[in-house]
Amino acid sequence: MKKKQRIRITDTSLRDAHQSLWATRMRTDDILKIAETIDSAGYYSLECWGGATFDVCMRFLRENPWERLRRIKKVCRKTPLQMLLRGQNLLGYKHYPDDVVERFVALACENGMDIFRVFDALNDPRNLEQAIRCVKKYGGHAQGTICYTTSPVHTVANYVRLAKAQASMGVDTLAIKDMAGILTPGAARELVSALRKALPEMPIQVHSHMTSGMAAAMYMAAVESGAGCVDCAISTLSSFSSQPPTESVVSILESEGFDCGLDRDALARINDYFKTLKEKRQPVSSARVEPVDAGVLVHAIPGGMISNLRSQLAGQDALGRLPEVLSELPRTRADMGYPPLVTPTSQIVGVQSVLNVLSGRRYSMVTDETRRYAAGYYGRTPAPIEPKLRKKLCGRLKPIDCRPADLLKPGLVAAAAELPPDTIKAEEDILSYALFPEVALGYFKWRNADPQNREPVPADVEEAKKTASEATAKESEILVEGNAAPVPPAAGGTPVTAPLNGTFYRCDAPGKPRLAEDGAVVKAGQPVCVVEAMKLFNPIKASAAGRITFLVEHGRSVTKGQVVATIK
Ligand code: CO
């Protein structure tokens, strides 16, 4: 009898799935209660680490993400652990120096990570080089990635070129990452076949989302064309904007004569467990999501991004303008050279689109990130930005052509020096801080506090609220803070106002000196403070020349139009 062809399944329940459906609120203890069963089920790998899981661990759960990795590894001895790594961005939103990338990868390997899916939001191979080199150096499995999107410049020939570039860097396998769930079965067949032809020895894995409802059918087409592994989530954590359900995909594949090698009884036990856990961990906002968002087939905006846009607009009291933003977004994306919409480009394009709508005049407000993006600090854009617009977006920032990280000085020693000495318990803490400075400091402070007097864990507070009043629970993604009382403008002088609701800062990064001292003489147009909204820093410029008086304390919430300083 002919041996059945083996198709492997990666389980995303511990990373992408709860990120997509439960706002990444699964706790380490939740994972450990079922980890042994998951490990025994026969998966190819377990995706359990990535940007949001790392950030949320510290920010909302007050857990150490490194400790989570070690504890999972201790139980899951059979199945390789997998993570999603944003190339030179690691788990953050900016490019890190090569020494930070190297130590991060080394420590991830040391703490138990096996497979690194390395991607770059712009598909710029130069941004993958260092991460892939380090994964190989420290004994990990390097999986290259094609971020799939559609545009006039995203052709099969270009994707094959990108795959070959990664093959020459020594990747072990290759992933097609369809973060928006827009890859059709026909396009998958064409792409996978072309990749198999160009790189016959390269194993291909496919990652998608059920947002548009096509992913399971697309997986079938990809597998028939030669893909050997697909990403799924256990049924309770599947569908909607998450991955296709493992149990269904296994049935589909096995009905066509493939063998997935998964233990059905184990799958049933895993699903029973998560079904119970769902009651506790699923935020109210996620429970209201539509099963299929057919709009994705038109606007191609990933599900997670739409919920972010919704949160951002709600934060600006402008939720009603979502349809305008959805139609603005493809225009902004085209202007910016058709970047695939994935972190951090999804954030940059999303926020810029929101600003283009809210400000009433496109690009009259440009975030720092848009500026840096246009100047090449995130890498080469898939299509060039129209020169006049590029000049406008860059402002005074000089465009660059090199690999962005080539301009960065080593960062590890500097990061370590910024940390108060008693906060560091291990080298891993320095990396946590280098990636998420404010979040890590908040977590370290919480960790150092006397356990009797610690502030409550933010995720516990959210859950208590949810239980108390399911109906009035807030969007869990929004970090809700009380709005500061409006400050009356000081008599005389030109007011400097907050352009958005957000958090007011006097400097543009933690540990940096203030942009302008109280009472200093400033020039008109000079950045004097910052309002952080939607995870991005919007510099506020002096509205006139003169002596500046600040009216708001560093770190306070401000509302749109609030006077934050006056200039006389
Ligand atoms: Co995904």
Q: What is the mean pLDDT of each run of 10 residues along the chain (568 residues)?
A: 84 96 95 98 98 96 98 98 97 94 98 98 98 98 97 97 98 96 97 98 97 96 98 96 96 96 98 96 77 82 80 90 94 97 91 94 92 97 98 96 97 94 92 96 95 93 80 42 42 84 84 88 92 78 93 90 93
Q: Give distance in angstroms: CA of 243 to centre of ligand 1.
A: 8
Cα 209 to averaged position of ligand 1 atoms, centre (Å) = 6
- The CA distance from 192 to 177, in Å, is 12
CA 112 to ligand 1 center in whole angstroms: 22
Alpha-carbon distance of 347 to 535, in angstroms, equals 8
556 CA to middle of ligand 1, Å? 34
Closest of 247, 245, 531 to residue 365, by C-alpha: 531
Strand duo 494-497 + 563-567: pairing: antiparallel
Partnered with residue 6 across adjacent β-strands are: 259
Q: What is the pLDDT of residue 467?
A: 80
State the pLDDT at residue 537.
75
195 Cβ neighbours under 8 A, 6+ residues apart: 159, 160, 163, 174, 176, 202, 204
User: Ligand 1 centroid vs 265 CA: distance in angstroms?
Assistant: 26
Q: What's the 317 CA to ligand 1 centre distance in angstroms?
A: 29
Q: Which two tokens stand for residue 184?
A: 């059709």
Q: How far is the CA of 271 from the centre of ligand 1 (A)?
A: 20
CA 518 / ligand 1 centre spacing (Å): 46
What token pair was written down for 18? Answer: 């709860």
CA 15 – ligand 1 centroid, Å: 9
* Residues, the chain: 568
Distance CA 198, CA 433 (A): 41
Cα–ligand 1 centroid distance for 178 (angstroms): 7
Q: Would you state the pLDDT for residue 482?
A: 36
Separation of CA 282 and ligand 1 centre (Å): 18
Residue 278 Cα to ligand 1 middle (Å): 20
Residue 254 burial (CB count, 10 A): 15
Residue 283 class from Cβ within 10 Å (0-12 exposed, 13-18 middle, 19+ buried)?
buried
Output the CA 401–ligand 1 centroid distance in Å. Answer: 30
> What is the per-residue pLDDT for 549?
94
Torsion of Cα atoms, 559 then 565 then 567 then 568, to 10°: 120
3-state SS of 315-363? HCCCHHHHHHHHHHHHHHHHHCCCCCCCCCHHHHHHHHHHHHHHCCCCC
Distance 339 CA to ligand 1 centre (A): 16
* Longest CA span, the chain: 90
Task: Map tokens 């709009």 to a residue.
Answer: 295
Would you state the pLDDT for residue 108?
98
Report the C-alpha gap between 232 and 11 in whole angstroms.
5
Phi and psi at 528, nearest 5°, equal -120, -20
Ligand 1 centroid to Cα of residue 17, in Å, is 8
Predicted local distance difference test score (pLDDT) of residue 489: 46
Instruction: Give 207 Cα–ligand 1 centroid separation in angstroms.
Output: 7
Calpha distance 136→169 (Å, rounded): 10
Nearest to 313 by CA among 534, 139, 481, 516: 534
Here the tokens at position 145 are 């990635």
Residue 211 CA, ligand 1 centroid: distance in Å: 11
Residue 181, pLDDT score: 93
Which residues, by Cβ under 5 Å, contact ligand 1, an ion? 16, 179
Q: How far apart are CA 378 and CA 93, in angstroms?
A: 10
How far does the centroid of ligand 1 lie from the alpha carbon of residue 149, in Å? 13
**Closest by alpha carbon to 276, among 243, 245, 234, 213?**
234
User: How many whole angstroms separate alpha carbon 32 and alpha carbon 39?
Assistant: 11
Report how far ligand 1's centroid is from the alpha carbon of 324 (Å): 26
Separation of CA 455 and ligand 1 centre (Å): 33
**Is there a contact between 209 and 239 (Cβ–Cβ < 8 Å)?**
no
CA 16 / ligand 1 centre spacing (Å): 6
CA–centroid distance for 240 within its chain: 18
pLDDT at 509: 72
422 alpha carbon – ligand 1 mean position (Å): 37
Nearby residues of 424 by Cβ (< 8 Å), 6 or more positions away: 416, 430, 444
Q: What is the 120 CA–ligand 1 centroid distance (Å)?
A: 13
Cα 10 versus chain centre, distance:
20
